[in-house]
Amino acid sequence: MTKEIRHITVIGAGNMGHQIAISAAIAGFQVICTDQNPDALQRARDFADTYLAGRISKGRMSEQEVTKTKAGLRFETSLAAAVQQADLIIEAIIEKLEVKRALFSELDTLCPPRTILATNSSYIVSSQIASATNRPDKVVNMHFFNPALVMNLVEIVKGPHVSAETVELLEAVSIQMGKTPIVLQKEIYGFVVNRMLQATRKEALNLLDSGVASVEDIDQAVMKGLGYPMGPFQLLDLTGIDLAYHVGMEKYQSSGNEADKPSPTIVEKFEKGEWGKKVGKGFYIY
């Protein structure tokens, strides 16, 4: 099945994007990672060099395997050049619907008719994006988890517009990348994993906002009492408090429900620029 998917383009060279790109290149796909920000691309390139060198030193990959991976991984600032041969595009940009729709509309004109257009979003369902293209059957959610080089799961969502062939191809790609795909048979906000996490995160923020317990103690309770590998505030710092803010605002703007607004603590940290590990400070200092 994956013979039909040889060339993959990942749009967005941030933490998620460049790790998805490296994962695909290790799996043997021809991969281009593209971003309009040359600094982001350089950081992605540097990360790839460091990560792959580390795989050799740890005995996880041979020098030949790393050489082959690097030969199959390219970084490109030109969107048109990056997508012209793509069989599959994975978008990993900001969680804003209008930005994604504009990008997918542009991709629809730049890509071959065969190209599958996947979004890594776990909150914006692909049916909200598909109408910006002339290929709705090939527009789909393919959600990786952070960090994508480590996390095994991929959520694929079969919206009402998505063809069975598209889903089967993405399952095959996921398996070739060493991932475990699960298929959601219908669209739902947050999919499976994030709905579970969101319930824990919402209550953790309620406890913090109410002054019941500290960030550190809530994280310890969740890890030691529930067996989670990290606490909800540690996870927020890892995935990005700015992402949590944008996701909450998108949901609120869509539903009009005040309860869907981001927590006051999330809003405060977003406005202060305390977005988590990537900026050195969030709920913790790094």
* Share above pLDDT 70 across residues of the chain, in percent, rounded to a whole number: 99
106: annotated active-site residue: no
Of 194, 250, 263, 274, which residue is the catalytic one? 194
Residue 102 structure tokens: 């504009």
Contact (CB, 8 A) for 15 and 147? yes
62: annotated active-site residue: no
Over residues 67-82, the mean pLDDT reads 98
Of 95, 155, 171, 274, which residue is the catalytic one? 155
Q: Please, which residues bridge with residue 156 across strands?
A: 142, 183
Strands 7-11 and 116-119: unpaired
Of 143, 250, 263, 274, which residue is the catalytic one? 143
Residue 264 structure tokens: 């006051």
Least confident of 134-143, 159-168, 184-193, 253-262: 253-262
- Give residue 198's pLDDT: 87
Q: How sure is the predictor about 1, in pLDDT bands with cuts at 50, 70 and 90? A: low
- Give residue 122's pLDDT: 86
Round to whole Å and give the CA distance between 41 and 14: 8
Q: How sure is the predictor about 253, in pLDDT bands with cuts at 50, 70 and 90? A: confident
Contact (CB, 8 A) for 141 and 157? yes
The domains found in the chain, sorted by start residue, are 2-184 (3.40.50.720), 193-279 (1.10.1040.10)
- Give residue 272's pLDDT: 97
Could you read off the pLDDT of 118-168 as tens digits, one per residue?
Answer: 999 988 999 999 999 999 999 999 999 989 999 999 999 999 999 999 999
Round to whole Å and give the CA distance between 240 and 254: 21
Residue with the two structure tokens 């013979």: 3
The one-letter amino acid at 14: G
- Give residue 82's pLDDT: 98
pLDDT, averaged across the chain: 95
Contact (CB, 8 A) for 162 and 140? yes
Over residues 249-259, the mean pLDDT reads 88
155: annotated active-site residue: yes
Is the pTM higher than 0.75? The answer reads: yes
134: annotated active-site residue: no
Does the pLDDT at position 193 exceed 70?
Answer: yes
- Give residue 255's pLDDT: 87
Torsion of CA 212, 235, 275, 150, to 10 degrees: 170
Of 15, 120, 121, 122, which residue is the catalytic one? 122
Could you read off the pLDDT of 199-225 as tens digits, one per residue?
Answer: 999 999 999 999 999 999 999 999 999
